[in-house]
Structure 1
Amino acid sequence: MQKKFEQLYKLDSKGKTRVWFMEQDGAKYRTHDGILGGTVKASSWRTAKATNVGRSNERTPIAQASFEIDAAYVKQLKGAYYDNVADIHLGCRYTEPMLAETYKSFEPGDAQPKLDGARCIMKAAGGFSREGEALPGAAHIRAALDAIFEKAPNLMLDGELYNHELRENFNELMSLIKKGSPPAERAAEIEATIQYHVYDIPSMVGVPWEARRDKLRALIKAINHPSIVYVEALPVNTPEQFDELHVHWCGAGFEGSMFRKRDGLYEQGKRSKNLQKRKDFDDAEFDIIPGGIEEGEGNWAGAAKRVICWLPNADRSIDLSDDKARKANTFEAGLRGKYPANAKLFAERDQHKVVTVRFFGWTPSEIPKPRFGVATKFHGAARTL
């Protein structure tokens, strides 16, 4: 029997009212999303699988579907969605960072290296992810900023929790960042490992980038703390200058480069042309199929070695044991990282539903798939970093 859950509403960046709700049919569930009074589209059906089979906390497929629906509603109601359409003017309940457009054409501006860490909005109340989740691994960063927040309690910083030496083992870095109050023996490790690389000041509303940049540079210099790092912004006045910096940063192990318009404002919660990302590869988030984090063999036994994901327009009601149907609706990505982190990932495989995959375009086949995909970030039940 199909069940339709309550509708939620939010105001989008174009001033239109969006509606969102979910629907369940036994172990299957799907999402509806669109413009109130206009087109509302339904996603493909997803089929939940039993979890923790044989344990005291076992869930049947139907119970698991209900659990995942409840979790989706909790997430939406933490952000910009409301159950009363009259409340949508209140906006998002947390500070949303400005997101980057894809770089397409050159104009004079500033360039920065593109990091591959965990986005972090730092406020007097602590460090928060791009989805508004508290980041326990940032507690020592917040403590290092005590004097600044005492003088400016409304200050907000935007940056990433990152360590360039751990760039090839993102999951290990994330495990340190997302942990709750760490045991005493790990507190020192976290403090020595996790740095805050800062690149903007969202609280300087209506102020052009050039002024925010100069203020940030002076602020980080005054803080003078080894865990607080200013992300240098360099002027680029010709395409050749930007190309040279981009190649240099990619060669140094960065993800790419960022371009900033010198007169650009900080646009919270928007994908803005004032901030543009330049990469030599694609990346996107994909849903993991049930049991899709697979174990390696030989020296990699006991550790995750590959992940199987749904293609964007997959029929999720298929029988995954049918090889033909599986190949038509899924793709495989490899994993980066060392054995200890991947062993931990495999042990916690049931917790992860969403993954970011880095790839080099799509195959030209009848069913296009990501080419040379490598999973880089696992996000649990939903993206929070």
Structure 2
Amino acid sequence: MIYPLQTLYKRDTNGNIREWTVEYMGPVGAGIRTISGIKDGNLVTSKWKMTEGKNFGKANATTAFEQAHKEANALWDKRLEKEYFRDEANVDTYDKFKPQLAHDYTKRPQPSGISQPKLDGIRCIARKNGLFTRAGKEITTCPHIEIALKDFFAVYPNITLDGELYNHKLKANFNKITSLVRKVKPNEEELLETMDLVEYHVYDCFDSWNPDRTFLDRIGNLPNLIHHAKIVHVPTEVCDDQEALDKLYSEYTEDGFEGQMVRNDTPYDNKRSKNLLKRKEFITDEFDVVEVLEGKGNWAGYAKHFELELGDGRTFRSGVRGQQAVLKDLLEQEVKPTWVTCRYFELSPDGVPRFPVVIDWGVGVRND
């Protein structure tokens, strides 16, 4: 029996609509083949590529038929990454948008710029016709984000939003986000969980009607145009000197962000750009604990800082990263940590860690 997967479509360089279908057959005589060509023209059918089972005797063993199904789906996924669409009506809507990519800040340091926290999410390009990965693959697991942006794109079809699918509450559980977003065929329960957990954090945009707009001009009015609980506008601050950049870098890492993005106020570059820098530089070391310190105000009742001891007996104070429930338990537990792993930017001239953040702790001798 032959099983076709959904036909995909694209517009070629000559203006023709091309269609592409992959089929697999089995269970007897398992294999795959493709059927492709200009729509309503003479389609070319490839020869069957016969498949064989793999990993016999192991937990991940597959039959020849299962392998055919697996390989057909893999080919189908790759086509989606090459500007093919499920819906023929969309073939003219995706115009090879290439997102701006970052260079390493440590290799191109600059003493000022526009600062944003660096997220550890899944890059997502949002357009009037859907959501896409940085490689152009359609994201179909977040229809709630598309709905949230529908009214915006109805008025501003010229804007492409650039951001990440993310939730800062899950900053310590990146795999949860990826497992939800990258589902091939999510069921209703999984889609509901995705709707509950996954937000779209916007940090830039591109205006196809005015591609020379600079960064601050592009994003300046977005918070006034998009109001939705699942759309988060990434905090953005202008830093006039290195001290300001370093201060924000420290705050980001203490708050659990991956690092810092440093931008220049320039037009959007559809390539890896010297005007966008990613900063994720730190040193990790272990220190003995002198005291666990309670926070103030909204942080009353939670561990907020550690007093730590240097090798020469001097002490310094460090922030601590963790979920509030964990920090509440840390303050209340009778046996306090005796050691911590601390991440910091660099040592001051006096040998004290700058912008330290405790990322792990324990009692006794560390054995991992």
TM normalised by structure 1 equals: 0.50
- Once the two structures are TM-superposed, the CA of residue 166 in structure 1 deviates from its matched residue by 1.2
Alignment partner of 1:123 out of 124, 127, 139: 127
- Which whole-Å CA distance do the structure 2 matches of 1:183 and 1:78 have between them? 23
- Which whole-Å CA distance do the structure 2 matches of 1:172 and 1:255 have between them? 16
- Which whole-Å CA distance do the structure 1 matches of 2:241 and 2:154 have between them? 42
Alignment partner of 2:224 out of 190, 196, 218: 218
Alignment partner of 1:159 out of 145, 160, 163: 163
1:232 match: secondary structure: coil
Cα 1:77–1:198 change in 2 (3 A) is closer
The aligned residue for residue 277 of structure 1 is: 278
The aligned residue for residue 258 of structure 2 is: 255
Is residue 233 of structure 2 the alignment partner of residue 230 of structure 1? yes
- Which whole-Å CA distance do the structure 2 matches of 1:166 and 1:183 have between them? 22
- Which whole-Å CA distance do the structure 1 matches of 2:222 and 2:268 have between them? 13
Percent identical: 39
Larger radius of gyration: 2
- Which whole-Å CA distance do the structure 2 matches of 1:276 and 1:76 have between them? 31
- Once the two structures are TM-superposed, the CA of residue 73 in structure 1 deviates from its matched residue by 11
Give 1 or 2: higher helix fraction.
Answer: 1
Matched residue type, 1:244: K
1:168 match: secondary structure: coil
Cα 1:136–1:54 change in 2 (3 A) is closer
- Once the two structures are TM-superposed, the CA of residue 180 in structure 1 deviates from its matched residue by 4.3
- Once the two structures are TM-superposed, the CA of residue 156 in structure 1 deviates from its matched residue by 1.0
Does the aligned pair in 1 maintain the 2:112–2:245 contact within 8 Å? no
Matched residue type, 2:276: L
Matched residue type, 2:214: P
- Once the two structures are TM-superposed, the CA of residue 55 in structure 1 deviates from its matched residue by 2.6
Cα 1:169–1:238 change in 2 (3 A) is same
The aligned residue for residue 28 of structure 1 is: none
- Which whole-Å CA distance do the structure 1 matches of 2:102 and 2:179 have between them? 25
Alignment partner of 1:135 out of 110, 133, 139: 139
- Which whole-Å CA distance do the structure 2 matches of 1:242 and 1:187 have between them? 39
The aligned residue for residue 63 of structure 2 is: 55
- Once the two structures are TM-superposed, the CA of residue 93 in structure 1 deviates from its matched residue by 5.7
Matched residue type, 1:100: A
- Which whole-Å CA distance do the structure 2 matches of 1:184 and 1:53 have between them? 29
Does the aligned pair in 1 maintain the 2:126–2:132 contact within 8 Å? yes
Gaps of 5+ in 1: 1-48, 81-91, 283-385
RMSD, matched Cα: 3.4
Matched residue type, 2:158: N
Matched residue type, 2:220: D
Does the aligned pair in 1 maintain the 2:100–2:272 contact within 8 Å? yes
The aligned residue for residue 307 of structure 2 is: none
Number of residues of Structure 1 aligned to a counterpart in Structure 2: 216
The aligned residue for residue 214 of structure 2 is: 208
TM normalised by structure 2 equals: 0.52
- 1:283-315 superposed Cα distances (whole Å, 9 cap, x missing partner): xxxxxxxxxxxxxxxxxxxxxxxxxxxxxxxxx
Cα 1:75–1:93 change in 2 (3 A) is farther
1:211 match: secondary structure: helix
Does the aligned pair in 1 maintain the 2:80–2:137 contact within 8 Å? no
Does the aligned pair in 2 maintain the 1:159–1:196 contact within 8 Å? yes
Alignment partner of 1:198 out of 202, 206, 212: 202
- Residues 79-90 of structure 1: matches in 2 within 5 Å? 79=82
2:96 match: secondary structure: coil
The aligned residue for residue 101 of structure 2 is: 99
Q: Which moved more, 1:102-111 or 1:240-249?
A: 102-111
The aligned residue for residue 37 of structure 2 is: none
1:156 match: secondary structure: strand
Does the aligned pair in 2 maintain the 1:123–1:155 contact within 8 Å? yes
Gaps of 5+ in 2: 1-52, 84-93, 284-368
- Once the two structures are TM-superposed, the CA of residue 79 in structure 1 deviates from its matched residue by 4.0
